[in-house]
Amino acid sequence: MLHYFALAQAHFPALYDIEMHKWSDAVALQPAPDAPAQLQTITYWAQAVGAARMGDVAAARRSTQKFDAAEEAVKKSKYAYMMEGPDPERDEVHAWLLFAEKKNDEALRLMRETADIQDKVGKEEVTIPAREMLADMLLALNQPDKALVEYEKSMKIDPNRFNGLAGAAEAAALANQPAKANTYYAQLLNNCDYGAHSDRPELESAKARFTGNGQGF
């Protein structure tokens, strides 16, 4: 029971802050004082992603270094078996650091490789898809056409994700595909009761831009 509580204590805040795009909150997260190295990696993953999304290169580097050090500690512990096989979290951390450092081609290549592997071997149900992160990068780099392709690929495996739909809608709108954007805005709003119980900016944007007929973008 204590093991699952400790896992939840690390995992839920990290996932929540990244899913909700609360980047500064993610950066402020700290591992529990008694957290073992394998749980510290969860917090440092969130720190690194949040810092990179804020453009804080120094903070992203610090968190990446802490993440790497925690993983090395895991490899030297009785939990070393946890490090066998693909390590998407490590690759995501390093891809986002590259992105923060403006090494865009390297960042995209590493995140794409991570997404391709994840698509083949699978992931935990509540894990943020690496392909969605790849789409986020492309959208931030003002490549909406390419971003839309990746969002749509991601949603084939993980349909109806809030951030996937919101990202796809924005990418489609920026790529001058109003009918497709309208479809994704409509799906997002329908899934969220038209934003009746949330003030997320993505829903406000969807309500402002949804036309009901695929026009108006």
Check residue 1 and give its pLDDT: 42
Check residue 214 and give its pLDDT: 43
Q: How many residues does the chain have?
A: 217
Confirm if 98 and 106 have CB atoms less than 8 A apart.
Answer: yes
- Say how far apart CA 79 and CA 38 lie, in whole Å: 8
Kindly give, in sequence order, each residue whose CB lies less than 8 Å from that of residue 44, ignoring residues fewer than 6 positions away: 31, 63, 64, 66, 67, 70, 93
- Say how far apart CA 139 and CA 122 lie, in whole Å: 24
Check residue 4 and give its pLDDT: 80
Kindly state the tokens that stand for 55: 């453009």
Confirm if 104 and 140 have CB atoms less than 8 A apart.
Answer: no
CA dihedral 188→194→196→197, nearest 10 degrees, is -10
- Say how far apart CA 147 and CA 140 lie, in whole Å: 9
- Say how far apart CA 173 and CA 217 lie, in whole Å: 6
- Say how far apart CA 105 and CA 151 lie, in whole Å: 19
- Say how far apart CA 187 and CA 194 lie, in whole Å: 10
Per-residue pLDDT of the chain (217 residues; tens, 9 = 90+): 447 888 899 999 999 999 999 999 999 999 999 999 999 999 999 999 999 999 999 999 999 999 999 999 999 999 899 888 899 999 999 999 999 999 999 999 999 999 999 999 999 888 999 999 999 999 999 999 999 999 999 999 999 999 999 999 999 999 999 999 999 999 999 999 998 899 999 999 999 998 765 444 4
Check residue 126 and give its pLDDT: 84
pTM: 0.94
Distances, alpha carbon 72 to alpha carbons 39, 68, 83, 156, in Å: 13, 6, 9, 34
Place of tokens 């894990």: 127
Kindly give, in sequence order, each residue whose CB lies less than 8 Å from that of residue 161, ignoring residues fewer than 6 positions away: 129, 132, 154, 155
Check residue 83 and give its pLDDT: 87
- Domain 1-128's class? mainly alpha
